[in-house]
Amino acid sequence: MSKTVEKLDDVVIRFAGDSGDGMQLTGTQFTNTTALAGNDLSTLPDYPAEIRAPAGTLFGVSSFQLRFSSWDILTPGDHPDVLVSMNPAALKVHLKDLKAGGMILVNTDAFDDKNLELAGFKSNPLTDDSLTNFRVIEVPITKLTLNALQGVGLTQKEMVRCKNFFALGLMYWMYSRTTESTEKWIKEKFGKDPKIEEANTKALKAGYYYGDTTEAFASRFEVKPAQLKPGLYRNITGNEATALGLVAAGQKAGIPLYYASYPITPASDILHNLSMYKNFGVKTFQAEDEIAAAGAAIGASYAGNLAVTGTSGPGAALKSESISLGIMLELPLVIIDVQRGGPSTGLPTKTEQSDLLFVTYGRHGEAPAPVIAASTPADCFNMAYEAARIAVKYMTPVYLLTDGYLANGSEPWLLPDAKDLPPIPVHFRTDPENFQPYARNENDVRPWAIPGVPGLEHRIGGLEKQNITGNVSYDPDNHDEMVRLRAQKVKGIAKDIPLQEVYGDQSGEMLVVSWGGTFGSVRSTVERLRRSHHKVSHAHLRYLNPFPRNLGEVLKNFEKIFVPEINLGQLAKLLKSEFLVPVIQFNKVRGLPLRSTELEKAIIESLGGSK
Amino acid sequence: MATINENVPTKKYTAKDFASDQDVRWCPGCGDYSILAQVQRILPELDVPKEKHVFISGIGCSSRFPYYMEAYGVHGIHGRAPAIASGVKTANPELTVWVATGDGDSLSIGGNHFIHALRRNIGLKILMFNNRIYGLTKGQYSPTSELGKKTKSTPYGTVDYPFNPVQLALGAAGTFVARSMDRDPKHLQQILLRAARHNGTSFVEIYQNCNVFNDGAFEILTEKETKLDNVVYLENGKPLVFGKENDKGIRLNVFTPEVVSLKDGKWSVNDLLVYNESSFDLAVLLATFSERAGFPTPVGVFYQVEKKSYEEMMTEQIETVVKKRGAGDLDKLLKSGNTWIVSAN
**Residue A2: which pLDDT band, with cuts at 50, 70 and 90?**
low
**Per-residue confidence (pLDDT) for residue A610, from 0 to 100:** 57
Measured between beta carbons, the chain A residues lying within 8 angstroms of B92 are: 303-305, 450-452
Q: Which residues of A touch B334 (CB under 8 A)?
A: 244, 248, 415-418
Name the residue range of residue B258's domain: 239-274
pLDDT in tens, chain B (345 residues): 344 455 666 679 999 999 999 999 999 999 999 999 999 999 999 999 999 999 999 999 999 999 999 999 999 999 999 999 999 999 999 999 999 999 999 999 999 999 999 999 999 999 999 999 999 999 999 999 999 999 999 999 999 999 999 999 999 999 999 999 999 999 999 999 999 999 999 999 999 999 999 999 999 999 999 999 999 999 999 999 999 999 999 999 999 999 999 999 999 999 999 999 999 999 999 999 999 999 999 999 999 999 999 999 999 999 999 999 999 999 999 999 888 888 876
List the domain boundaries for chain A: 4-223, 234-420, 508-606
Q: Are B156 and B266 within one domain?
A: no
Over residues A404-411, the mean pLDDT reads 95
Give B 215-244 residues with CB within 8 A of chain A: none
Please indicate, yes or no, if residue B321 is contained in any of the structural domains.
no
Query: A-chain residues within 8 Å CB-CB of B342?
Result: 38, 225, 228-231, 233
Same-domain check for residues B75 and B187: yes
**pLDDT the model gives residue B3:** 45
The pLDDT of residue A260 is 98
The residues that bridge with A8 in the sheet, in sequence order, are A223
The 3-state secondary structure of A220-252 reads EEEECCCCCCCEEEEEEEHHHHHHHHHHHHHHH
pLDDT of residue B7: 60
Mean pLDDT calculated for residue range A288-317: 98
* Same-domain check for residues B165 and B251: no
Chain B residue whose CA is closest to A459:
B73
| Cβ pairs A/B, distance under 8 A | 213
Do B299 and B212 reside in the same domain of the chain? yes
| Contact present, B66 and A461 (Cβ < 8 Å) | yes
pLDDT above 50 for A20: yes
Question: Residue B326 falls within a domain, yes or no?
Answer: no
The whole-angstrom separation of Cα A15 and Cα A167 is: 9
Per-residue model confidence (pLDDT) at position B2: 42
Q: Which of A255, A457, A464 to mutate to test the interface with B (most CBs of B within 10 A)?
A: A457
In a domain, B10, yes or no: no
CATH 3.40.190.10 holds for A508-606:
no
From the list A256, A260, A288, the residue facing B113 with the nearest CB is A288
The whole-angstrom separation of Cα B125 and Cα B287 is 20
Same domain for B116 and B216, yes or no, is yes
**B21 & B148 share domain:** yes
Asked whether residue B149 is assigned to any structural domain, the reply reads: yes
Regarding whether B120 and B20 lie in a shared domain, the answer is: yes
**Mean pLDDT of the region A181-188:** 94
Arithmetic mean of pLDDT, A417-429? 97
Q: B225 and B252: one domain?
A: no
Q: Looking at the 3D structure of chain B, how many domains does it have? A: 2
CATH class assigned to A234-420? alpha beta
**Looking at the structure, do residues B151 and B247 belong to the same domain, yes or no?**
no
B339 domain-assigned: no
Are A234-420 and A508-606 in the same CATH fold? yes
pLDDT of the residue at A47: 87
Distance separating alpha carbons of residues B273 and B294, to the nearest angstrom: 17
Task: Say if B340 falls within a structural domain.
Answer: no
- Give yes or no for residue A1 having a pLDDT over 60: no
Contact A600, A525 (CB under 8 A): yes
What's at B61, amino acid-wise? C
Per-position DSSP letters for B42-58, written without gaps between them:
HGGGSS--GGGEEEEE-
Record: contact A295-B321, CB cut-off 8 A: no
Strands (E), A262-303: 283-286
Tell which of A234, A279, A453, A460 to mutate to test the B interface (max B CBs under 10 Å).
Answer: A279
pLDDT value for B10: 64
In degrees, to the nearest 5, what angle opens at C-alpha B101 toward C-alphas B98 and B105? 140
Residues B153, B90, single domain; the answer is: yes
Instruction: For residue B217, tell me if it sits in a domain.
Output: yes
Fold that domain A4-223 belongs to in CATH: Pyruvate-ferredoxin Oxidoreductase; domain 3 (3.40.920)
**Identity of the residue in A244, A289, A329 whose CB atom sits nearest the CB atom of B112:** A289
- Residue finishing a domain among B215, B250, B274: B274
| Confidence (pLDDT) at A611 | 59
Nearest to B99 by CA among B135, B73, B71: B73
Amino acid occupying residue A399: Y
Residue B207 lies in a domain: yes
Residues B264 and B213 placed together within one structural domain of the fold: no
Single out the residue of B243, B244, B277, B236 nearest to residue B259, CA to CA: B243
User: Which residues make Cβ contacts (< 8 Å) with residue A42, sequence separation at least 6?
Assistant: A66, A67, A73, A74, A75, A76, A77, A409, A410, A411, A520
pLDDT at position B9: 66
| Phi and psi, residue B126, nearest 5° | -90, 115
Q: Parallel, antiparallel, or unpaired: how do β-strands A371-373 and A543-545 relate?
A: antiparallel
Q: pTM of the prediction?
A: 0.93
Q: What is the pLDDT of residue A608?
A: 86
| Residue range A572-588, pLDDT digits in tens | 999 999 999 999 999 99
Regarding whether B265 and B177 lie in a shared domain, the answer is no
Q: What CATH number does residue B52 fall under?
A: 3.40.50.970
pLDDT at A72: 87
